A and B are shown apart, each in its own frame.
Chain A
Amino acid sequence: MAEDVLILGNKRFSSRLFTGTGKFASKTLIAPMLAASGSQMITVALRRVDPTADQGNILAHIPETVTLLPNTSGARTADEAVRIARIARAAGCGDFIKIEVITDMQYLMPDNHETLRATRILAKEGFVVLPYVMPDITITQQLYDAGAGAVMPLGSPIGSNRGLEMRAMIQRIIEVSKLPVVVDAGIGRPSQAADAMEMGADAVLVNTAIATSEDPCLAGKAFSLAVIAGRMAFLATLAGTRKGAAASSPLTGFLRE
């Protein structure tokens, strides 16, 4: 197979599994997970310091070869997301930003309108904007026009491990999107990651399922293999289904008569 890379901004990714740093039992599991999974992009979040908590530096656990994807979690408006993005870049985290604007605290569904607004502003400032959105064809086109680097529709609610509840909409987005499609949130099993990739997603972002497994390195590896398998199956253009059987062996020359 020819080299199959995903280009986002000015970076080339041979791994189509993006990961996250949330919820690990120990930060020391992050670097081995990255090594085991081969993931080349990982999310981090920005927060006020808590002098009473462990103040270990999360960035110290991420190899320099891995692209940082700061998220704007905690933002309730486009303006708050823009502020977080600018801080992350000024702090040396690079140009990549995952826009996450949420006011729905029950299901953590993103606010597509505010996300689009933040994308417009940040793309003009040279950020590689990866917006986390409710799967919607109109927003996908609007994000393209706004200069986004990709579109990241959710599979199911963040941290729910429910897989591709939005499957049909994601499929349509993959069909029409001029932007790379990264399925983000809710992917709980490697088979679901493979499913997204078979459908033609360009990448998946998996955090909770890897971080909260009993062995994040092994889970990271499993997701990585699933993503590779799904991608290969997509590139191979699998045959369609049919109602009845179609014999795999010749229906002539039987020995029985």
Chain B
Amino acid sequence: MRINLNGSPVETTSRSLSDLVAEQGVNFSSLIVEYNYEVVKQASWNDIHIKDNDTIELLNFVGGG
């Protein structure tokens, strides 16, 4: 399955957002997931099933002025 992840096309076998976060190996304690332009809370990551052509952003807050 091909998704758009953080602005780039990516092949993934992940079925849910939880799987994707684990697959990407990012620290999820402060992770913000935007799924097709909607923020999804961590409690619902398992409920979102990834489809072909989904647009997903993995974001976090960083230092900035």
Contacts and interface: CB of A to CB of B under 8 A. Distances in A.
Interface in A75-104: 83, 86-88, 90-91, 93
A191 interface: no
A17 to B, nearest CB: 14
Contacts of A48: 6-7, 57-59
A87 B34 contact: yes
Nearest to B34: A87
Contact of A59 (B30, B37, B38): B30
A241 interface: no
B24 interface: yes
Contact of B61 (A44, A51, A86, A207): A44
A46 B39 contact: no
Contacts, number: 95
Contacts of B3: none
A144 interface: no
B13 interface: no
A46 B64 CA distance: 8
A166 to B, nearest CB: 17
Given A49-B58, A87-B39, A91-B39, A44 B64 contact: yes
Interface of A: 20-24, 27, 30, 43-49, 51, 55, 57-60, 70-71, 73, 83, 86-88, 90-91, 93, 158-159, 185, 205, 207-208, 211
12 contacts: A44-B64, A46-B32, A47-B61, A48-B57, A49-B24, A49-B59, A51-B25, A55-B26, A57-B30, A90-B32, A159-B65, A185-B65
